[in-house]
Structure 1
Amino acid sequence: MIRILLVDDHAMVRMGLKMLLDANSEMEVIGQASEGNEAIEMAERLMPDVILMDLSMPHGKDGLTATIELKKRMPEVVILILTMHDDDEYLFRVVQSGASGCILKSAPHEELLSAIQTVATGAAYLYPKATKRLMEDYVTRLKQGENHDTYSILSEREREILGLIAKGYSNKEIGEMLYISVKTVETHKSNLMEKLQMKSRPELVKYAAKKGLLDF
């Protein structure tokens, strides 16, 4: 029996997934979470065999950030990312996060069940087009001799906020500039600091300078 923790911010999606997985005699949904912080707490308490993690959750900690933190706390945890984004940016960020696999929300039910069974055995799973793109990118990077770091796993909004923080703007000022709440700014700041493994503003400023983000 594969014990599964569902993480998605939509209750109806979780309900549908639970019905699908519980109908399989080899799977059991042991818990549900609506955002990353709750997922981390439940994972440490329930010790699931597989965590089915939604990538985009606007409220609380997003799926990518939660995955990175879970892999630090529980290196052996198996996480399968569920996403609607079929593009290179999200794919590379998922791979770098330490997740065991990635599957599209549009995938057939049979493919989802197969993906869960695959990662539960300790193997990795990527949908077919993703595997092809990763191989092509790997070859390209070898040819170019590129050395990518964790900056590539930041979202566009996190990169934007990183630059503004480094330039000295307060959370309130950033919120006004981007038309988002101070709480949302704080959440993005917390997420990007966690991804970059930094704990202070000076560290962010130094990092942003290296990335050329301080051009006014």
Structure 2
Amino acid sequence: MTAVDTRVLIVDDQTMVRQSFHAVLAAQPDITVVGEAGNGADAVRAATRHRPDVVLMDVRMPVMDGLEATKQILGNPDLSVRVLMLTTFDVDEYVYGALRVGASGFLLKDAPLEDLVNAVRVIAAGNALFAPAVTRRLVAEFAARRPDPVRSDRADRLTAQELKVLRLVARGLSNTEIAAALVIVEQTAKTHVSRVFAKLGVRDRAQAIVAAYEMGIVVPGDGN
């Protein structure tokens, strides 16, 4: 095990899928597969036992689905873990719900296996949103189906500059891209992003995007 080793738990109700992901990830020098689970209930127990850094979580499973399992795992204060949702659907309301409760992003099961490896590394490194443009599209689609957004007092806590930053986060921009868009240094952009997260009470970019749509700070189809 190397100093940068990432511990991964694979959760999927299809044995062949688990075995495929396990083989690919275990072959990486910086990733260790610490366990597998075939349903959400087993995933919760396995996460507590193995304490992974990243959980690959299937959405639709028997006994307990991926949404409830994600809630329970991320709600455990004794765990420091990030969840990457896996789905066969590029627009899946379960995934939207998972993002709301703190999942770090999602990946389609039919994505190339190298994308899976990269996603694990990206999320383990603390870059909370994999494929941000796709996640933003998913959030926007479901936000469009909800009642009119309600502006909460959380939005009022943000300065004008922080609102600009949140809109750029919701477009899927990285800190480097936000810095370029606002003509500020990257460290300042990073500080603004961190303050936005703190004021909104969100843990990462995925939840920030959801919050931005739900509060009406950005709207579906908004490209600005």
Query: Which one of the candidate residues 81, 86, 91 is aligned to 1:82?
Result: 86
Secondary structure, in 3 states, of the residue corresponding to 1:25? coil
Residues 15 and 134 of structure 1, relative CA distance in 2, 3 Å threshold: closer
Distance 1:139 1:60, change over 3 A: closer
Alpha-carbon contact 1:21-1:113 (below 8 Å) kept: yes
Identity fraction in percent: 39
Match of 2:179?
Answer: none
Cα displacement string for residues 66-104 of structure 1 (whole angstroms, at most 9, x for unaligned residues)? 000111114632111111111152342121121112111
Matched, 1:69 2:72: yes
User: Corresponding residue for 1:55?
Assistant: 59
Corresponding residue for residue 118 of structure 2: 114
Match 1:26 to one of 26, 30, 46: 30
TM-score for the superposition, normalised by structure 1 = 0.60
Q: Which sections of structure 2, spanning at least 5 residues, go unmatched?
A: 153-224
CA–CA distance in structure 2, aligned partners of residues 12 and 102 of structure 1: 20
1:185-204 → structure 2 map (5 Å cutoff)? none
Q: 5+ residue gaps in structure 1?
A: 149-216
Q: Tell me if the contact between 2:9 and 2:55 (Cα under 8 Å) persists in the aligned partners.
A: yes
Give the deviation of 1:136 after TM superposition: 4.5
**Whole-angstrom CA distance in 1 between matches of 2:52 and 2:10:** 10
From 14, 17, 33, the counterpart of 1:13: 17
Conserved 8 A contact 1:88-1:133: no
- Determine the structure 1 residue equivalent to 2:155: none
SS at match of 2:75: helix
| Pair 91,129 (structure 1): closer, same or farther in 2 beyond 3 Å | farther
Partner of residue 101 from structure 2, selected from 84, 97, 106: 97
| 8 Å Cα contact 2:85/2:95 also seen in 1 | no
User: Greater CA radius of gyration, 1 or 2?
Assistant: 1
Q: Structure 1 47/88 Cα, relative in aligned 2: closer, same or farther at 3 Å?
A: closer
Aligned pair count reads: 146
- Alpha-carbon distance in 2 for matches of 1:88, 1:14: 21
Structure 1 residues 97, 135: CA separation in 2 closer, same or farther (over 3 Å shift)? closer
